[in-house]
């Protein structure tokens, strides 16, 4: 079966750095997305990785290792507004999008 694993919940301090991990076992790989979802709202796109390495976009970076089936989302200089769920999703060999359950990130002052 296809599976995406993320921690259920993480807590971090305002101003700090947090890394949210995602491991996947899918039938093939055609890319990986990270989305942010505030409580009760729609998911919004953060990043897309298809090649190994780090993609940086402001305070957020996303890393991919295809050989390890692993990605992480790195959030720097955390702000209270970063409190949200972060969803990892993988495009499989049939171009179907497989979603993880999401990681709820709690930011404390």
CA dihedral 78, 80, 83, 89 (to 10 degrees): -40
- Closest distance to another protein from the beta carbon of 18 (Å): 21
Identify the CA nearest to 96 among candidates 2, 14, 7: 2
Residue closer to another protein (CB basis): 78 or 90: 90
99 binds another protein (CB under 8 A): yes
**Distance from C-alpha of 88 to C-alpha of 79, rounded to nearest angstrom:** 21
106 binds another protein (CB under 8 A): no
- Closest distance to another protein from the beta carbon of 29 (Å): 11
> Binding residue for another protein (CB under 8 A) from 27, 97, 106, 108?
97
Provide DSSP, 19-32: EEEEEEE-SS-S-E
Identify the CA nearest to 47 among candidates 14, 75, 77, 15: 75
Name residue, tokens 């079966």: 1
Residue closer to another protein (CB basis): 8 or 67: 8
Interaction residues for another protein, span 25-84 (CB under 8 A): 30-31, 33, 35, 40-45, 48, 50
List contacts with another protein (CB under 8 A): 4, 8, 30-31, 33, 35, 40-45, 48, 50, 87, 89, 91, 95-102
């Amino acid at each position: 079966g296809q599976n995406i694993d993320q921690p259920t919940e993480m807590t971090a301090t305002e101003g700090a750095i947090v890394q949210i991990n995602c491991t996947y076992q899918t039938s093939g790989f055609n890319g990986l997305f990270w989305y942010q979802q505030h409580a009760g709202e729609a998911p919004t796109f953060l990043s897309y990785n298809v090649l190994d390495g780090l993609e940086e976009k402001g305070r957020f970076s996303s890393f991919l290792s295809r050989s390890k089936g692993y990605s992480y989302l790195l959030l720097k200089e955390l702000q209270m507004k970063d409190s949200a769920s972060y969803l990892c999703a993988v495009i499989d060999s049939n171009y179907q999008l497989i979603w993880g359950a999401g990681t709820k990130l709690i930011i404390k002052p």
